[in-house]
Structure 1
Amino acid sequence: MTRQLLVPMDDSETARAALEHALSVFPNDEVTVVHVVDELEAGYGGRPPMTDSGGTDADEPNFFADVREIAAEHDRRVETAVVEGTSAEAILEYVDANDVDGIVMGSEGRSGVSRMLLGSVAEAVTRQASVPVTIVP
């Protein structure tokens, strides 16, 4: 039975590592990559709101180009989605609304003692998700 996996994506190396992990460890599962746009951050000089095609209203390069390249390296296709809201809440809402069976996500890159702690988004998702969560360092 094919499962539906969700990989939250931002510009971090840990998010890319999570996508690589999902594509290689779960070769028979469908993967959806979701990017969360926080309207408050975009309104205060952050990244402009993104279109469904992955570009932004300001014609920035396609955010999902790296995602498609990584998928192609694994001879896979992935679905992409853009949602609005605060990161953890938007991810959890997407999971509940879209019949997702599991989440594969990166932790924040840290060093020293704080490395043992998850990033705030990863921790919130792990604590509140209704499905299994795999954290990739």
Structure 2
Amino acid sequence: MTRHLLVPMDDSEPARAALEHTVSVFPDDEVTVLHVVDDLETGYGGGRPPVTTGGEKRADDDEPDFFEDARSIAAAHDRTVEATVITGTSADAILEYAREHDVDQIVMGSEGRSGVSRMLLGSIAEAVTRRSSVPVTIVP
């Protein structure tokens, strides 16, 4: 039985490590790479979001450059990945996407923050792990 795995991704080494782990450890499963554009940052930054309010990517926008890295990582393992961009608050958007798209497991990287840094900045990986209804694997 093929499972649907979700790998939240940004332009970071922990995200790349999570994708590398996913395509190497789960060779037969469907993988979706998800990038969440924080709607607050987009609004305050003055730029327009890369997706419509309904969550669908606009055709006239290019996807993030690191999606090409994601495809290269997958190709190195003879795999392909689906890549999607949505807007929202990171942890909430990841969890909502997982619910709405029948995701079986979330695999994500973690910066490994601890102590005061984690308390002040929060941890998307921790929030997803605590609130997810599906298994979450954190790759350091």
Residue 54 of structure 2 aligns with which residue?
Answer: none
Could you tell me which amino acid in structure 1 is paired with residue 26 of structure 2?
A: F
Q: Give the drift of 1:48.
A: 5.2
1:47 and 1:73, CA in 2 relative to 1: closer, same or farther beyond 3 A? farther
Whether the aligned pair in 1 keeps the contact of 2:63 and 2:85 (CA below 8 Å) is no
1:77 and 1:42, CA in 2 relative to 1: closer, same or farther beyond 3 A? same
- After TM superposition, the structure 1 = structure 2 runs for residues 21-36 of structure 1, keeping only pairs within 5 Å, are 21-36=21-36
**Residue among 63, 72, 84 paired with 1:81:** 84
Measured in 2, the distance between the counterparts of 1:64 and 1:47 equals 20
Please give the per-residue CA displacement for 1:41-93, whole angstroms capped at 9, x wherever unaligned.
0122287522538x984x68634111111111111000111111000000000
Give percent identity, aligned residues only: 70
**Residue among 127, 132, 138 paired with 1:129:** 132
User: Between Structure 1 and Structure 2, how many residues are aligned?
Assistant: 131
Structure 1: state its 5+ residue gaps. none
TM-score normalized by the length of structure 1: 0.84
Please give the per-residue CA displacement for 1:69-128, whole angstroms capped at 9, x wherever unaligned.
111111100011111100000000001000000000001244xx54xx796100000000
Whether the aligned pair in 2 keeps the contact of 1:48 and 1:56 (CA below 8 Å) is no
Measured in 1, the distance between the counterparts of 2:104 and 2:64 equals 31
Residue 19 of structure 2 aligns with which residue?
Answer: 19
Whether the aligned pair in 2 keeps the contact of 1:4 and 1:32 (CA below 8 Å) is yes
Whether the aligned pair in 1 keeps the contact of 2:108 and 2:137 (CA below 8 Å) is yes
Measured in 2, the distance between the counterparts of 1:74 and 1:47 equals 36
1:61 and 1:25, CA in 2 relative to 1: closer, same or farther beyond 3 A? closer
Residue 64 of structure 1 aligns with which residue?
Answer: 67
TM-score normalized by the length of structure 2: 0.82
